[in-house]
Amino acid sequence: MFYVTIAIIMFVLIVFIANIRIVSQSNAYVIERLGSYCSTWHTGMHFKVPFLDRIVKRVSLKECVADFAPQPVITKDNVTMQIDSVIYMQITDPKLYVYGVDRPNMAIENLAATTLRNLIGELELDETLTSRDVINTKMRAVLDEATDPWGIKINRVEVKNIVPPHGVQEAMEKQMRAERERREAILRAEGEKQSAILKAEGQKLSAILKAEADKAATILQAEAAKEAAVREAEGEAQAILAVQKATADGLAMLKAAAADNAVIKLKSLETLQKMADGQATKIIIPSDIQDLTGLLTSLTEVVKSPISGVKRPEIGTGE
């Protein structure tokens, strides 16, 4: 009896220990009791009731990546191409994931294929190649809404590759080559145009600078001629003023000396003497100096003075 009791106790301990479960981080266990859903175990140690509870599914709560095979799709302009996509998803409710849908990965793959065909069917070839962000956003919204009852959250959808037919690829390459050649021609023409514009502007600026230089030179020459004329006129004016001043000073001196008529007549005789030294053949003596004493004597000396090669002038009166 003692051994039976020990055996029973050992059996109970073994069963108890065997039904202890430890759930690691980022994992969850779905538990059924007598065939129906009982609970969901998360991180920690749990005890399963022997012979009643059963672990239905061990679910990973980490974000996982589903890379699906390329899918044939037809664009709006009837071009068939191969598109493969990558879906980043995460299980948020283990219960819905286990009981919501059978084979969830296959369901998501088929849903992604049909959604992709619907989206590409509304776009043309060029729009498909340039609208990856639009396609990714729309696919994520549709898939996230559809997989919400399955306890799955679609975090991100990426169109991995788009492969158009070979003929379309060749046509696209030719089109791209033609576009590049067109851009090259446009850039070359714009460069030549810019060069011509800059050259014309340079010539215009050079002509303007030359005209301004010529104008400045002409102005400087005119100012120099004007300055020379002004200085010449000032010199002549100063000379005339000097002569007039000398004359005025002489007259002032005569006036200051109280010169009488005899002195003035004597000066007149000196002037006549200078006139007689010249080439004049006839001298007219004013009547107001004829009565001077010794005038005839002076004139006789002047006439008798030997002057070679000079004709004696005729002396007459001014009457």
pLDDT in tens, the chain (319 residues): 777 888 888 888 888 888 888 999 889 999 999 888 999 999 999 988 888 889 999 999 999 998 888 888 888 888 888 888 899 999 999 999 999 888 888 999 999 999 998 988 888 888 888 888 888 999 999 999 999 999 999 999 988 888 887 777 787 788 888 888 888 899 999 999 999 999 999 899 988 999 888 888 889 888 888 888 888 888 888 888 887 787 777 767 766 765 556 556 666 666 656 655 555 555 555 555 555 545 445 544 544 444 444 444 444 444 4
Shared domain check, 72 and 53: no
159 and 83 belong to one structural domain: yes
Residue-range definition of the domain harbouring residue 301:
269-317
Q: What CA–CA distance (Å, rounded) separates 277 from 311?
A: 10
Helices 295-304, 261-276: axis angle to 10 degrees equals: 10
Residue among 103, 94, 21 nearest 58 (CA): 94
Q: What is the pLDDT of residues 231-264, one digit of tens each?
A: 888 888 888 888 778 777 776 776 676 555 655 6
Among the candidates 164, 195, 224, a domain finishes at 164
In a domain, 249, yes or no: no
Same domain assignment for residues 104 and 150: yes
Q: What is the pLDDT of residue 27?
A: 93
Half-sphere exposure of 131 (CA within 13 A, CB side): 16
Task: Answer yes or no: do 48 and 138 share one domain.
Answer: no
Q: Is residue 250 included in any domain, yes or no? A: no
| Domain CATH code at residue 104 | 3.30.479.30
Residue-wise pLDDT tens digits, 89-133: 999 999 999 998 888 889 999 999 999 989 888 888 888 888 888
Q: Is 164 helix (H, G, I), strand (E, B) or coil?
A: coil
Residue 147's Cβ-count burial label (10 Å; 0-12, 13-18, 19+) is: buried
Give the Å distances, CA to CA, from 26 to 42, 60, 91, 111, 122.
Answer: 8, 6, 10, 27, 40
pLDDT of residue 167: 77
In a domain, residue 26? The reply is yes
107 domain-assigned: yes
Q: Supply the pLDDT for residue 279.
A: 57
Residues 48, 77, single domain; the answer is no
- Domain assignment present for 45: yes
Do 81 and 135 fall within a single domain?
yes
Choosing from 60, 90, 107, the residue where a domain stops is 60
**pLDDT at residue number 267:** 62
Tell me: do 74 and 159 sit in the same domain. Answer: yes
| Together in a domain, 130 and 86 | yes
Looking at the fold, whether 90 and 6 belong to one and the same domain comes out as: no
Residue 296 has what pLDDT? 46
Q: Are residues 155 and 112 in the same domain?
A: yes
Domain count, the chain: 3
Structure token pair of residue 94: 């283990």
Show the CA angle centred on residue 116, arms to residues 113 and 121, nearest 5°.
Answer: 125
Residue 25, Cβ density class (10 Å: 0-12 exposed, 13-18 middle, ≥19 buried)? exposed
Residues 98 and 55: beta-carbon distance below 8 Å: no
- With beta carbons less than 8 A apart as the criterion, state whether 148 and 89 touch: no
* pLDDT given for residue 216 in this prediction: 87
pLDDT at 266: 61
**Shared-domain flag, residues 111 and 148:** yes
Answer yes or no: is 312 within a domain: yes
Q: Residue 319: its pLDDT value, please? A: 43
Residue 209 lies in a domain: no
Is 133 a member of any domain? yes
| Domain's final residue, options 135, 164, 193 | 164
Q: Residue 94's pLDDT is what?
A: 92
Same domain for 69 and 145?
yes
pLDDT at 286: 57
pTM: 0.53
